[in-house]
Structure 1
Amino acid sequence: MKRKISIALNEWKNKPHRMPLVIGGARQVGKTYILQEFGHEHFENMVYLNMEIEHVLTRFLDAELSPDKLIPFIEALKGERITAGKTLIFFDEIQACERALTALKYFYEQAPQYHVVAAGSLLGVAVNRQKYSYPVGKVEELTLYPLDFEEYLWAMGK
């Protein structure tokens, strides 16, 4: 499905000095869908991590945030090879794991060659409610809104 945010996603992918990307927005507006579609269309592979159900990863993040340790762990967990520039790493429902949000900072500082995206609903509420260390200045943020009228017409083939 064509969405206006796709242009911004392509621009982010091609930036030479890109930060991890966090997509926020209301529930059920298509954050997961658009990022999975983007991953399948623009990368050789995508590693999808739903932080509401990846309890083994959540426990690992309690002890380790370094991308040098995290990448091999995710590869073993998911049985997929992660290659810089060819793999999209997608942390979904990131508001469910404070440490995953913090890990984005370390991807920016220590491993900017990886394409890392995260999505979550009510991120602002979760950050204010928890003792989150939000990676201010270390991530790029976009908001996905519900379909506007033009996007609706595109979806209807008009």
Structure 2
Amino acid sequence: MIKRKIDRYLADFFDTHKKALMLTGARQIGKTYSIRRFGHEHFERFVEINFIENPGLVKVFSKAKNCQDILLRLSTVTSQDLIKGNTLVFFDEVQECPEIVTAIKFLVEEGELSLYFKW
């Protein structure tokens, strides 16, 4: 397995911040792969929402109003239980649903879930 700088960065970020992290960068360099691996290795639950693979989810999340509304919408689109402190939610391809970036701040303020999202 190849070790990447991003792997250490993800672990350090989560250990110190426990908030949302937005990753940007060139295409096809392993951002999604690293987040998936990190999520499965460090969390009991890992939920991935990909707005390109599932374009219908753009409508689902674009109208979210607050933390509870986002959590309700998340619970309807995943079969996994959302466990506070043990769930990593990964929103991928957020450029397709820019409203989710604003909505994520509600989840961060409540401290409900660990979040990573990639632009």
Read off the aligned partner of 1:106 and give its amino acid letter. F
Normalization by structure 2: what TM-score?
0.88
Unaligned regions of 5+ residues in structure 1, if any?
Answer: 121-158
Cα deviation, residue 56, structure 1: 3.6
Number of equivalenced pairs: 118
Cα deviation, residue 66, structure 1: 1.5
Q: Distance in 2 between matches of 1:119 and 1:73?
A: 19
Which residue matches 1:117? 116
Q: Distance in 1 between matches of 2:71 and 2:65?
A: 10
Sequence identity (%): 32
Which residue matches 2:6? 5
Normalization by structure 1: what TM-score?
0.68
Q: Distance in 1 between matches of 2:74 and 2:91?
A: 11
Contact conserved, 2:45 with 2:87, CA < 8 A, in 1?
yes
Contact conserved, 2:107 with 2:113, CA < 8 A, in 1?
yes
Q: Which has the larger radius of gyration?
A: 1
Unaligned regions of 5+ residues in structure 2, if any?
Answer: none
Contact conserved, 1:52 with 1:97, CA < 8 A, in 2?
no
Read off the aligned partner of 1:57 and give its amino acid letter. L
After superposition, the CA RMSD in angstroms is 1.6
